[in-house]
Amino acid sequence: MQPLKGLTVLDFSTLLPGPLASLLLAEAGARVVKVERPGSGDEMRHYPPLLDGHSVPFAMLNRGKESLAVDLKSAEDRTRLAGWLGRADILIEQFRPGVMARLGLDYETLSARYPRLIYCSVTGFGQSGPRAQVAGHDLNYVADTGLLSLAMGPPEAPVVPPALIADIAGGAYPAVMNILLALLSRAGTGKGAHLDISMTDNLFPLMWWALGQVAATGEAPGNADDLLTGGTARYRLYPTSDGETLAAAPIEERFWRTFCEVIGLDASLRDDAADPPATVRGVAKIIASRTAEEWRAAFAGVDACAVIVRDLTAALSDPHYRARGLHDRATRLPGGQDIAALPVPVVSAFREHPSETSAAPALGSLSGNQA
């Protein structure tokens, strides 16, 4: 029995945060109905890369869901939602605050009719506060909260983060966490809740180390000068002689001692607190003297927390992840093509068919009122 079997989710969201949240719920057994604009649907349907005209990112985020095409600005179309609203356990939306109220679909209106409804609003800055109506994307949110300032590369060549941290870690994951908490609460009280998920609020726990420094010293870490952002020899990226990179993270003393032994660091530099820049320079010079393959061999089977940076293609074919079945599942595009399913953090015990192939929905695949 999947834990969320029998629950129905109405997902009004688009792009990434809400759709990823509802994907996690679908993987655990919930029935997810995407409410989309007629004609164009979720914007993600048109995002590249495309395979035979169908968006791969859309399919990865929306496997196993159904699609209901509704013009929310049409009173006639909104009446088609009545049956779905009556049976929905969870509603997810990520419009700016006030939009759902103008449509008569806000929490206050719906909860009066459906008191068990769990209503999850995902926004950049939350439902209240001076920035509640400000538009933004992931890069804006990590910049606004100070997260980006901790490690964004040199000012002359700043680096965009490689992951959509706010959308996923600040939006989708907290949304699912709080939806599950609300379900537990509802089981005892019989009442739903309005969940105000602010992506920017949820970025601050990711900076716990930097927040600790502010609390202790009154000053925030600078760009890449903290323990966990490349400010020490023990947590840093080092170029090799052939243009690849060694990722070294021997933070604990036992790992640091082993690391120093493997690379042959001069004894005068091993106390990295004595002259941190000198130790960094010493390590960097040694790592730059040998190839990535030589370092890969040197650290093989050694507990020194040091690995060569690999590209995504190599990671996808790695025997470890293959052995764990991370890429065994497939998603079927509306055109019939199969692609690898997006691995999500729902353990196989909670999925009905861990190796199944399920499809992304065609726009408007639900016809009429099938609630």
CA dist 204 and 134 (Å) reads 19
CA distances to 9, 19, 53, 187 from 4, rounded to whole Å, are: 10, 17, 33, 13
Please indicate, yes or no, whether residues 85 and 182 belong to a single structural domain of this protein. Answer: yes
Q: In the annotation, is 303 catalytic? A: no
Q: Which two tokens stand for residue 144?
A: 């606004």
Domain range spanning residue 53?
8-199+323-359
Query: Please, what sign has the CA dihedral across residues 204, 205, 209, 211?
Result: positive
pLDDT of residue 354 exceeding 60: no
pLDDT of residue 356 exceeding 80: no
Please indicate, yes or no, whether residues 38 and 87 belong to a single structural domain of this protein. Answer: yes
Please indicate, yes or no, whether residues 17 and 83 belong to a single structural domain of this protein. Answer: yes
Residue-level pLDDT at 367: 63
Please indicate, yes or no, whether residues 86 and 183 belong to a single structural domain of this protein. Answer: yes
Q: How confident is the model at residue 353 (pLDDT cuts 50, 70, 90)?
A: low
Please work out, in degrees rounded to the nearest 5, the angle formed at the alpha carbon of residue 340 by the alpha carbons of 337 and 343: 145
DSSP type of residue 329: -
Please indicate, yes or no, whether residues 283 and 158 belong to a single structural domain of this protein. Answer: no
CA dist 75 and 50 (Å) reads 34
Average pLDDT over residues 258-276: 97
**Number of domains composing the chain:** 2
Which domain CATH number covers 330? 3.40.50.10540
Residue-level pLDDT at 355: 57
Q: Which residues pair with 245 in a beta bridge?
A: 239
Phi, psi of 231 (to 5 degrees): -85, 0
pLDDT of residue 276 exceeding 60: yes
Q: How confident is the model at residue 334 (pLDDT cuts 50, 70, 90)?
A: confident
Task: Kindly name the residue from 46, 137, 266, 318 that is annotated as catalytic.
Answer: 137
pLDDT per residue as tens digits for the range 53-83: 999 999 999 999 999 999 999 988 888 898 9
Please indicate, yes or no, whether residues 45 and 168 belong to a single structural domain of this protein. Answer: yes
Task: Kindly name the residue from 42, 167, 196, 272 that is annotated as catalytic.
Answer: 167
Q: Are 47 and 61 spatial neighbours (Cβ–Cβ below 8 Å)?
A: no
Average of per-residue pLDDT values in the chain: 95
- The answer to whether position 105 is within a domain reads yes
pLDDT per residue as tens digits for the range 221-240: 999 999 999 999 999 999 99
CA dist 315 and 209 (Å) reads 28
Q: In the annotation, is 353 catalytic? A: no
pLDDT per residue as tens digits for the range 14-32: 999 999 999 999 999 999 9
pLDDT per residue as tens digits for the range 176-229: 999 999 999 999 999 999 999 999 999 999 999 999 999 999 999 999 999 999
- The answer to whether position 70 is within a domain reads yes
